[in-house]
A and B are shown apart, each in its own frame.
Chain A
Amino acid sequence: MATAYTPGLTVSRSVTVRKTRRLPLPGQVLVEAGARVEPHDVLARAELPGIMRTVRAAELLGQDPADLPQYLLVKEGDQVEKGDVLCRSTSFFGLFKNECRAPVAGRVEMINPVSGNIGIREAPSPVEVTAYIRGTVSEVLPREGAVVEAQGALIQGIFGVGGERIGRIRVVAQGPDRDVSPEDIPGDVGGCVVVGGSGAGLGAIRAAAEKGAVGFVVGGVVDEDLIGYLGHDIGVAITGQEPVPMTLILTEGFGSLRMADRTWELFGELEGETASINGATQIRAGVIRPEVIVPRDSAAGEAVTPGRGVLEVGSTIRIIREPNFGMLGEVVDLPAQLQTVPSGATVRVLVARLTDGRVVTVPRANVELIEK
């Protein structure tokens, strides 16, 4: 295939970000196109129908389901409160009474003479969708939500856990190649998105979470520490719903991996600014990568829209698989012929000069393009 390489993750100081914010079911949109919104502003609201609770009425009365209608005290459509009597049977000249009460408040939706059950639908619960980023409503999606647009910095990570959060950027590592220790986490990181360098151990991650940080962005963590933080293993890369106190985003991968210079430098520029972050990751068709978005009123540099770059001689690439995992280089040749690599696979390759001066042949599938 023509694109047998991984398009790079976007790391840009100025980009147009559009976030489509949709309700899970049709509802009411509360904003108009052109409106300025803040991250916590509610854009749309819907009512999620309540669950129907089934009461095994005939069984509880000890009666045949077909006889249920004669014992009913309610009819379909009635509103009932928790504890209201739904049906009653008497026996032995009224001496013994059997009653069946509503376990929840709601509307009687179903009375079924076949099963002898009564269904009570609970009240609907509200569902809201917020703006998530500071920006402008560029489009209203009738009954569904809205699109919020902003100009600003966007840094995509490679993997994350935890959902949407808002906080100030706070760089705590001494450099992109330095690991963060628990002692590196200051006491005043509450509400911040902490930025580390190449790695952070479980101690540092826990220290940041305990001190109230809402996010932690770092080059890599080792598998064992991720499991320790989550309290369980992750099998499939669909994340974002974990009940963790702090969103964790990896920019490079698993292990202690130097954060890319460009990413590190951009975080330095963004120090103190408010970021919207999300650890949600889905690696499959329709890839979702974790993100750090910093809307900026006066974004420096030229605005770019992330796209698929073209791999060509002179392109800057990063190797994303052993044996030179993490190394940066420049493409010096793109041989048309397939070549056999040490594993024995015959694949499309490229020749790159690495930053340490070595010239290596790498499968094209094992590089990502660093977009300029």
Chain B
Amino acid sequence: MSEPTRILATDCGSTTTKAILIEKREGEWRLICRGEAPTTVEAPYDDVTVGVTNAVREVEELAGLTLMADNGLLHPAAGGRGVDLYLSTSSAGGGLQMTVAGVVKAMSAESAERAALGAGAIIMDVIAVDDGRRDWQKIERIRSLRPDMVLVSGGTDGGTVSHLVDIAEMLVAADPRPRLGGNMKLPVIYAGNRDARDAVRQLLDGRVDLRITENLRPQLDREDLYPAREAIHELFLQHVMQQAPGYSKLSSWTDAGIMSTPNAVGKMVQTAAEQLGVQVLAVDIGGATTDVFSVFQGIYNRTVSANLGMSYSICNVLAEAGVENIVRWLPFEADRWSIRNRLRNKMIRPTTIPETLEDLMVEQAVAREALRLAFEHHKMLARGLMGVQQTRTVGEMLSQAQSGATLVDMMRCDLIIGSGGVLSHAPRRAEAALMMLDAYQPEGVTRLAVDSIFMMPQLGVLSTMLPEAATAVFERDCLIRLGTVVAPAGTGRPGGPVCTVSFGGRTESLNCGEVRVLPLAEGERVEAEIVPAKGWDAGAGKGKAVRGVLEGGVVGLILDGRGRPMAIPAEPAERAALMRRARQAFGLPEEV
């Protein structure tokens, strides 16, 4: 095949199928247009390709091109019609649902969880020999769940065999069935101690569809998740995708296997972190779930908070965060029960949108809590290996740093990328910036960006075939740079000095409790010096100056002196006033 110049990529989501068209014009890869249509994996259509066709038809109309014939895509392109490359991702039909099992909850089971999450799965349960449940409780649980597949891990190579046999026996006892394809055998991936393979094979072969792969925790201090993730991806294509309505047909159209949507987003986040040389945190907040991705110290992690979302799961955010934590972000005093009823009505009519400013503020307050809770979950799982003996310095011993500490260090985070409706489609970009600032409370110097139209899944799958095209479109058309935040860590009395920021011949003094947004346009870069006040840290240590480049964006340069952790007054009127001041600084309407 000659070098492609026209690429079509689709993402089949639970509710919407999105198509993007990318072309190489004058030597540059650019996004041409985007189309969407309802996903058709459910009755009455029961065929995912109907939704794909409808989304591509919209792209055809917008681009003024012919890409499809009556019987499918025109592929490869000829005479200006059709596409050179077609790729797709999918999370329709509930995505990839897995149960994972390991010997020790905080070690092999946690590594298995990381492997499955990194491969784009939703984890239904984590079973471990030491998880505190009785055997029969675990067996009943395994049986009642109907996962797409199970991942079994545990034991270092040469270590325990009997515990792995126990887990295999539990699977035999439960006799679990796969979610799709009633008479098919359940796919089980074994990625545990090599020495237990035969015993496990003896118990499980013939009862389940058993795949054996490399141990994902071959030594206590080494985690090797790649083979397990590849096995998951392969089984996802072979089993889950083949059972879902219309996917065999869709697979025949694509130039590479259909990738699960979160797996594709993760690929794009990793590519971006590598190519930009940054430590990155990315989030995709949807209606039902919130996915968090990070690359810190070169280690990629992904978590999914399956019940934190903005429509279908909005009441779970309410249940987990509590109404008080939601109303604390509102610039007005609110009646708790009216907020609760309002969120319930959003849950049962999830496609409605805020018409009034007050309604919008309530949804964005919920979003802050969904982002915060999903981030807390991510920090817990994105951590170093537990149980590993470390050589520690005296300083580390004094700071009581333990094995298994989180890898997520907000002071070292260079870039935060937000995507999902509430961030990508916020009426004002400053609202997206303020939501991320409040939820993540970045420290030091951090850039903020949003995915303009949520095309990271398509670019992620593209990055596996044409990384330069994916990166080019990601940089030019996908990312909307909001600006840079300077937020020294520390606490102090309100009005006390936090730092001075000098750039372009001017010096700004920031006081405690204050937020300021200065104009610094997208594409502008300024050399700056940040001198924190005594007790405040801008990245080089308390009171030490930091020099670097600050990048502009559609919101500008944000100076946040509210402290870390951010101090929010308990008194409602005072709290609402603080929120109003922040909105004022961002140029957002304050009164409802």
Contacts and interface: CB of A to CB of B under 8 A. Distances in A.
Binding between chains A and B? yes
Interface string B549-592: 00000000000000000000000000000000000000001000
B526 interface: no
Contacts of B140: 51
Interface string A322-335: 11010000000000
A3 B39 CA distance: 12
B355 A341 contact: yes
A236 B313 contact: yes
Contacts of A343: 353-357, 359-360, 427
A321 B359 contact: yes
B184 to A, nearest CB: 12
A114 B165 contact: yes
Given A283-B312, A344-B360, A345-B427, A158 B348 contact: yes
B337 A224 contact: yes
A33 to B, nearest CB: 21
A340 to B, nearest CB: 8
A323 B356 CA distance: 7
B509 interface: no
B340 interface: yes
Nearest to B163: A115
A299 interface: no
Interface stretch (A80-88, A205-213, A358-366): A358-366
A240 interface: no
Interface string A1-35: 10110100000000000000000011000000000
A345 B143 CA distance: 46
Nearest to B199: A114
Nearest to A349: B355
B17 to A, nearest CB: 10
A54 B170 CA distance: 8
Given A51-B136, A159-B348, A321 B288 contact: no
Given A26-B182, A237-B347, A285 B42 contact: yes
Interface string B272-285: 00000000000000
B50 to A, nearest CB: 14
Given A6-B349, A26-B182, A345-B360, A54 B344 contact: no
A368 B36 CA distance: 21
A60 interface: no
Nearest to B309: A236
A86 B348 CA distance: 55
Contacts, number: 171
Contacts of A4: 351
A233 interface: yes
B476 interface: no
Contacts of A286: 42-43
A253 B344 contact: yes
A234 B344 CA distance: 9
Interface in A350-372: 362-363, 365-366, 368
B349 A321 contact: yes
Interface in A130-178: 158-159
Contacts of A236: 288, 307, 312-313, 315-316
A42 interface: no
B14 A54 contact: no
B352 A320 contact: yes
Interface residues on A, range: 35 or more
A77 interface: no
A233 B41 CA distance: 31
B341 interface: yes
Contacts of B37: 1
Interface string B170-187: 101111010000110000
Contact of B320 (A6, A114, A223, A235): A235
B122 interface: no
B173 A53 contact: yes
B551 to A, nearest CB: 26
A343 B359 CA distance: 8
A309 interface: no
A52 B312 contact: no
A253 B349 contact: yes
B162 interface: yes
A258 B202 CA distance: 64
A52 B140 CA distance: 10
A328 B307 CA distance: 33
A253 B348 contact: yes
Interface in B309-349: 312-313, 315-316, 318-320, 337, 340-342, 344-345, 347-349
Contacts of B316: 235-236
Contacts of A159: 348
Contacts of A112: 165, 169, 203
Contacts of B348: 158-159, 237, 253-254, 281, 283
Contacts of A363: 352-353, 355
Contacts of B249: none
Given A51-B140, A159-B348, A223 B337 contact: yes
A285 B15 contact: yes
Contact of B353 (A1, A3, A255, A365): A365
A1 B19 CA distance: 13
Given A51-B139, A322-B355, A25 B345 contact: no
A284 B169 contact: no
Contacts of B169: 54, 110, 112, 115, 117, 119
A115 B162 contact: yes
Contacts of B159: none
B57 to A, nearest CB: 11
Interface string A231-248: 001111100000000000
A313 to B, nearest CB: 21
Nearest to A341: B355
A62 interface: no
Contacts of A345: 353-355, 360, 425, 427
Nearest to B347: A237
B351 A365 contact: yes
B203 A6 contact: no
A66 to B, nearest CB: 11
A224 B340 CA distance: 9
B154 to A, nearest CB: 14
A347 interface: yes
Contacts of A109: 172
A342 interface: yes
Contact of B351 (A6, A26, A49, A223): A6
Which 6 A-B pairs have CB atoms at the shortest separation, nearest pair first? A235-B316, A344-B427, A52-B173, A254-B344, A343-B360, A223-B340
Interface of A: 1, 3-4, 6, 25-26, 49, 51-54, 65, 109-110, 112, 114-115, 117, 119, 158-159, 222-224, 226, 233-237, 253-255, 281, 283-286, 320-323, 325, 341-347, 362-363, 365-366, 368
Given A51-B139, A52-B173, A322-B359, 7 more contacts: A119-B173, A159-B348, A253-B345, A253-B348, A255-B345, A285-B39, A366-B355
28 contacts: A1-B38, A51-B174, A52-B172, A54-B170, A112-B203, A115-B169, A159-B348, A224-B340, A226-B344, A236-B307, A236-B312, A237-B348, A253-B345, A255-B341, A281-B348, A283-B350, A285-B93, A320-B352, A321-B349, A321-B353, A321-B359, A341-B355, A343-B359, A343-B427, A345-B353, A345-B354, A365-B353, A366-B353
